[in-house]
Amino acid sequence: MQNNVDVINAFYSAFRDKNFKLMQSLYHDGATFTDPVFGNLSATQVKAMWEMLLSSSKDLRIEFSNAAADSTKGSCHWEAWYTFSKTNRPVHNIIDASFEFSDGKIFKHTDKFDLWRWSRQALGLSGVLLGWTAGVQNKIRTTARARLDSFIAR
């Protein structure tokens, strides 16, 4: 079995290098993913999500640190800097990831970040004033999932 810290390092190195195919290969066929924007995704959906995000990013920069893991679980801190395409506003997202592994691959991946902080940066004044509300956060989620579903359908 591959060392799980190596899996985390390979995943974020591939992310940094915009190599979505390597990222996809590090997920178990039964993997799941959860984050505040996309919600719960299956292995097929999370693989498509990374491809969609990386193939559409123009100025994405990724840094990661504190990768740690044992034989079943792991974690990593990562940060992303990019321009949010819908508003052309700069975003610096700070994320803490947790993982569960099976057969040397990522089986469960959970990213946690402050969605209101993200919305303040990505949406500007409307994010500052309303980004904390369930209505705006649900709209962010609905829009992201619709974009992913459309990407997968192509």
User: Considering the chain, what is the average pLDDT of its residues?
Assistant: 92
Domain ranges of the chain: 4-114
Residues 6+ apart with CB under 8 A from 23: 11, 14, 15, 47, 50, 54
Q: What's this model's pTM, rounded to 2 decimal places?
A: 0.90
Q: How far apart are CA 150 and CA 115, in angstroms?
A: 23
Report angle CA 110, 108, 59 to the nearest 5 degrees.
50
For residue 1, what pLDDT band results from cuts at 50, 70 and 90? very low
Three-state secondary structure call for residue 46: helix
Q: How high is the pLDDT of residue 129?
A: 65
For 102-130, what is each residue's pLDDT tens digit?
Answer: 999 999 999 999 998 999 998 876 766 66
Q: How far apart are CA 39 and CA 144, in angstroms?
A: 10
Name the amino acid, one letter, at 112. K
For 25-36, what is each residue's pLDDT tens digit?
Answer: 999 999 999 999
Q: How far apart are CA 49 and CA 38, in angstroms?
A: 9
For 58-86, what is each residue's pLDDT tens digit?
Answer: 899 999 999 999 999 999 999 999 999 88
Right CATH for 4-114 from 3.90.1200.10, 2.60.120.260, 1.10.760.10, 3.10.450.50: 3.10.450.50
